């Protein structure tokens, strides 16, 4: 056994001990931890880790990140100040704690300790969902099987909710839990990958003996696939070869007779058809069983045409499953999450607003942004030790100056899954605001507007990045659809992915197209044109557009807006060469004076009327 701090890695029982408490880890996170602990004090690259854990299979490095997050949570490790797992950005990981050989039979060895499941961190803002799941657990006790799909964006908290629900059900029904993770790329190669993980866990759990016996008699092929030969002699050899879903369903139902059984399928968007068929059968069978299937899938990664969607819709229609769609956390829940993470009731002022705004309520983004603020010393403890309160040390950074690397690493793999044309389309869309019209994307890329609109539509149906947001009629009578980014951070990452020169080209093309479409009515779009020219570093045209916008504001008697626009154009004029600047500065200054005078004149009658009002009220 390897020991580090209060933990011991038990390789024979494939679990972790903290003092006398047993912590059961799913096989892959356990394997990751084992590899790290067995190779302490040196850099382990992503490739080395992936090769060690998935030899001969390509697996997205993103998977490692998820496992590291989980392991850190279990170990209570702080990535900003790691005691165990240190991330070396873009390179890999290093297990930094001293590791010692522990005596299995020694005093610290957990002789006959009771197996506990770990208490998951408290989930915030999911009270309604947990109440709903509690009601289902009550029905389960009467033999009504349940199937629940928990869906939502990546990082929205599907796994966290399922863990909390399992904990709740274990407490209510003392149920057995086993979970299987579907992994991108693996499900195609290994049939029933997640199911086998579940069976392996069941056979190694407290009900392991019963599970093995039931599988041996009712579903021997499944047991054989685990590498365990059924000991029963009267079984036909053929039945140990073919893994029939019906056999497994019956075996699981049998197992659930003694003790309620919770099967968790994580990230079903990566499941293959065989796994989906098994879940379908488990959900549809009518035999009473204290069996619950909790399945999560990322609504972002499962396109509208994914077989999983069809399965879920059919089950919903026949009332054979329920779906819990997780929405972003409300601001109060974000505040609770921050209190929990920082272990202090009152959080630094403004932190909740900043993180809520940038994360848009996605807990994964909240936590990543919080870690960033801590790593970069925007937040620090009052005193160096861990008892100090957290306080703000510097104004929080603007996302436009750079999305934290940890977030880029979360979002980038999703972008890379798209084909190159789709990536280009989204990059062009990021040149605008969160909401963008398809015609402007076509303009930025010099593509056919109709084809671009079709491509945007396809992206809205099949990807996580954008959704349709209405349509508008252009001055030339054509109709154009609008789309919106699902998250502001996606737009930022896509924007920052591009080279400055490519962005500049796109910005100028959009501004020119705006000018063309609204010819004679540029006043309406001058501000937007100015924004694009400024982003492209085309200072002269930016100044011109800002002055046009200011003139328009002046005509509407929006004098203070006009003054602001002119002041901004003065600031931009600084970048022009001397000759151009000298001419323009004088002109802008006199326009600014006019706007200010108009502001004053407009104010006077108002002041006067206030005084008059005051006079009458006083009498
Ligand atoms: N409601 C919640 N309360 C507290 N923490 C949460 C909540 N939802 C998610 N988290 C945390 O946010 C991170 C991402 O959540 P996770 O459940 O892994 O997302 P998903 O499974 O939807 O991709 C995890 O660290 C998780 O513990
Ligand atoms: Mg998850």
> Could you report the per-residue pLDDT of 239-263, keeping only the tens digit for each?
556 899 999 999 999 999 989 999 9
pLDDT of residue 406: 82
Reported as type and span, the H/E element at residue 181 is strand 176-181
Tell me which ligand sits closest to the C-alpha of residue 151. 1
Residue 111 Cα to ligand 2 middle (Å): 34
**Running DSSP on this structure, what letter comes out for residue 8?**
E
Helix axes 273-284, 245-258, angle to 10 degrees: 50
Whether the per-residue pLDDT at 233 is higher than 70: the answer is no
Higher pLDDT, 219 or 188: 219
pLDDT in tens, 302-314: 666 688 989 999 9
Pairing verdict, β 291-298 and 146-152: parallel
Strands annotated E in 195-320: 261-266, 291-298
Backbone angles phi, psi at 455, to 5 degrees: -65, -40
Mean pLDDT of 138-149: 91
- C-beta 154 within 6 A of ligand 1: yes
Residue 83 Cα to ligand 2 middle (Å): 25
Cβ atoms of residues 276 and 307 within 8 Å? yes
pLDDT of residue 4: 84
Percentage of the chain beyond pLDDT 70 is 89
Q: Whose CA is nearest to atom 27 of ligand 1?
A: 160
pLDDT in tens, 345-373: 889 999 999 999 999 999 999 999 998 89
- What whole-number distance in Å separates Cα of residue 201 and Cα of residue 524? 64
Mean pLDDT of 474-492: 90
- What whole-number distance in Å separates Cα of residue 433 and Cα of residue 392? 29
Which of 364, 410, 413, 487 has most ligand 1 atoms within 8 Å of its beta carbon, as the pocket-test mutant? 364
Order of strands across the sheet that contains 92-95: 44-45, 92-95, 85-88
**Which band of pLDDT confidence, cut at 50, 70 and 90, is reported for residue 609?**
very low
- What whole-number distance in Å separates Cα of residue 215 and Cα of residue 238? 15
pLDDT of residue 109: 29
Tell me the DSSP string of 375-440.
HTTSEEESSSSTTSPEEE-SPPPPGGG---HHHHHHHHHHHHTS-HHHHHHHHHHTTS-SEEEHHH
Reported as type and span, the H/E element at residue 442 is helix 438-445
pLDDT of residue 28: 87
- C-beta 124 within 6 A of ligand 1: yes
pLDDT of residue 386: 61
Residue 267 Cα to ligand 2 middle (Å): 6
Q: Which fold is adopted by the domain 127-232+239-325?
A: Rossmann fold (3.40.50)
Cβ atoms of residues 266 and 238 within 8 Å? no
Atom of ligand 1 nearest to the CA of 70: 25
3-class DSSP state of 517: helix
Tell me which ligand sits closest to the C-alpha of residue 181. 2
Place of tokens 């039945």: 239
- C-beta 159 within 6 A of ligand 1: yes
pLDDT of residue 127: 95
Mean pLDDT of 496-505: 95
Angle, CA 364 vertex, CA 358 and CA 369 arms, to 5°: 45
- C-beta 181 within 6 A of ligand 1: no
Q: Report the DSSP beta bridge partners of residue 325.
A: 151
Q: Which fold is adopted by the domain 2-101?
A: Arc Repressor Mutant, subunit A (1.10.10)
Whether the per-residue pLDDT at 114 is higher than 50: the answer is no
Higher pLDDT, 372 or 536: 536
- C-beta 301 within 6 A of ligand 1: no
**Is CATH 1.10.287 correct for 419-601?**
no
Q: Torsion angle of alpha carbons 458, 460, 461, 467, nearest 10°? A: -160
Tell me which ligand sits closest to the C-alpha of residue 301. 1
- Label residue 117 left, alpha or beta by phi (over 0 means left) and psi (-120 to 50 means alpha): beta
Residue 55 Cα to ligand 2 middle (Å): 24
- What whole-number distance in Å separates Cα of residue 243 and Cα of residue 281? 14
Cβ atoms of residues 435 and 483 within 8 Å? yes
Place of tokens 């490519």: 502
Residue 149 Cα to ligand 1 middle (Å): 16
Residue 365 CB partners (closer than 8 Å, separation 6+): 155, 358, 359, 407, 410, 487, 489
What is the pLDDT of the chain when averaged over all its residues? 87
pLDDT of residue 613: 46
pLDDT in tens, 262-288: 999 999 998 999 999 999 999 999 999
Residue 370 Cα to ligand 1 middle (Å): 14
Residue 155 Cα to ligand 1 middle (Å): 6
pLDDT of residue 210: 95
- What whole-number distance in Å separates Cα of residue 448 and Cα of residue 452? 6
Residue 452 CB partners (closer than 8 Å, separation 6+): 425, 438, 439, 441, 442, 445
pLDDT in tens, 553-592: 999 899 999 999 999 999 999 999 998 898 899 999 999 9
**Which band of pLDDT confidence, cut at 50, 70 and 90, is reported for residue 527?**
very high
- C-beta 337 within 6 A of ligand 1: yes
Per-residue b or e along 593-617, where b marks 16 or more CB atoms closer than 10 Å to that residue's CB = ebbeebeeeeeeeeeeeeeeeeeee
Lowest mean pLDDT among 77-91, 185-199, 375-389, 571-585: 375-389
Tell me the DSSP string of 94-147.
EE-S--EEPPTTSTTS-SSPPB-PPPPPPP-S-HHHHHHHHHHHHHHHTT--EE
Backbone angles phi, psi at 434, to 5 degrees: -60, -35
Higher pLDDT, 58 or 529: 529
Whether the per-residue pLDDT at 616 is higher than 60: the answer is no
Whether the per-residue pLDDT at 607 is higher than 60: the answer is no
**Which band of pLDDT confidence, cut at 50, 70 and 90, is reported for residue 59?**
confident
pLDDT of residue 435: 92
């Amino acid at each position: 056994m390897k020991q580090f701090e209060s933990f011991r890695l038990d390789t024979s029982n494939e679990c972790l001990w903290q003092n006398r408490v047993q912590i059961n880890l799913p096989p892959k996170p356990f394997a990751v931890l084992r590899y790290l602990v067995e190779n302490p004090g040196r850099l382990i690259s992503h490739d080395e880790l992936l090769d060690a854990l998935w030899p001969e299979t390509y697996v997205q490095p993103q998977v490692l990140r998820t496992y590291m997050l989980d392991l850190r949570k279990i170990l209570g490790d702080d990535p900003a100040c790691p005691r165990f797992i240190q991330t070396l950005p873009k390179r890999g990981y290093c297990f930094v704690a001293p590791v010692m050989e522990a005596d299995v039979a020694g005093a610290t060895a957990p002789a006959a300790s009771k197996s506990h499941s770990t208490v998951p961190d408290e989930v915030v803002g999911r009270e309604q969902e947990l109440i709903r799941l509690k009601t289902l657990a009550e029905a389960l006790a009467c033999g009504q099987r349940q199937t629940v799909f928990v869906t939502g964006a990546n990082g929205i908290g599907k796994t966290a909710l399922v863990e909390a629900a399992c904990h709740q059900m274990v407490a209510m029904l003392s149920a057995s839990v086993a979970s299987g993770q579907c992994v991108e790329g693996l499900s195609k190669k290994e049939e029933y990958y997640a199911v086998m993980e579940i069976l392996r866990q069941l056979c190694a759990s407290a009900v392991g003996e019963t599970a093995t016996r039931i599988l041996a008699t009712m579903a021997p092929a499944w047991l054989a696939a685990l590498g365990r030969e059924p000991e029963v002699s009267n079984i036909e050899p053929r039945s140990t070869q073919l893994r029939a879903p019906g056999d497994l369903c019956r075996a699981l139902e049998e197992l659930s007779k003694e003790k309620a059984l919770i099967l968790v399928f994580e990230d079903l968007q990566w499941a293959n058809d065989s796994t989906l068929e098994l879940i379908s059968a488990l959900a549809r069978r009518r035999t009473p069983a204290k069996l619950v299937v909790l399945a999560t899938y990322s609504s972002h990664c499962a396109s509208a045409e994914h077989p999983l969607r069809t399965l879920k819709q059919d089950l919903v229609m026949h009332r054979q499953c329920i779906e819990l769609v997780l929405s972003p956390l409300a601001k109060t829940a974000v505040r609770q999450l921050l209190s929990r993470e920082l272990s202090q009731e009152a959080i630094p002022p403004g932190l909740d607003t900043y993180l809520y705004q940038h994360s848009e309520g996605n807990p994964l983004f909240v936590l990543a942004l919080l870690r960033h603020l801590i790593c970069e010393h925007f937040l620090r403890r009052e005193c160096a030790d861990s008892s100090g309160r957290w306080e703000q040390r510097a104004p929080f950074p603007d996302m436009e100056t750079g999305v934290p690397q940890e977030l880029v690493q979360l979002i980038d793999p999703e972008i890379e899954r798209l084909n190159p044309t789709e990536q280009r389309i989204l990059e062009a869309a990021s040149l605008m605001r969160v909401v963008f019209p398809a015609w402007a994307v076509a303009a930025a890329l010099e593509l056919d507007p109709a084809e671009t609109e079709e491509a945007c539509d396809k992206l809205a149906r099949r990807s996580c990045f954008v959704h349709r947001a209405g349509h508008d009629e252009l001055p030339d009578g054509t109709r154009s659809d609008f789309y919106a980014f699902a998250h502001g951070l996606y737009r930022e990452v896509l924007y920052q992915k591009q080279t400055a020169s490519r962005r500049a080209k796109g910005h100028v093309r959009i501004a020119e197209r705006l000018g063309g479409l609204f010819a004679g009515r540029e006043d309406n779009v001058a501000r937007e044109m100015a924004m694009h020219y400024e982003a492209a570093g085309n200072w002269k045209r930016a100044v011109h557009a800002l002055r046009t916008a200011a003139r328009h504001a002046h005509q509407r008697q929006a004098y203070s807006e006009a003054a602001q626009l002119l002041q901004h154009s003065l600031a931009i004029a600084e970048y022009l060469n001397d000759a151009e600047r000298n001419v323009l500065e004088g002109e802008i200054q006199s326009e600014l004076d006019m706007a200010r005078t108009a502001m004053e004149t407009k104010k006077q009658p108002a002041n006067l009327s206030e005084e008059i009002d005051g006079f009458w009220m006083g009498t």
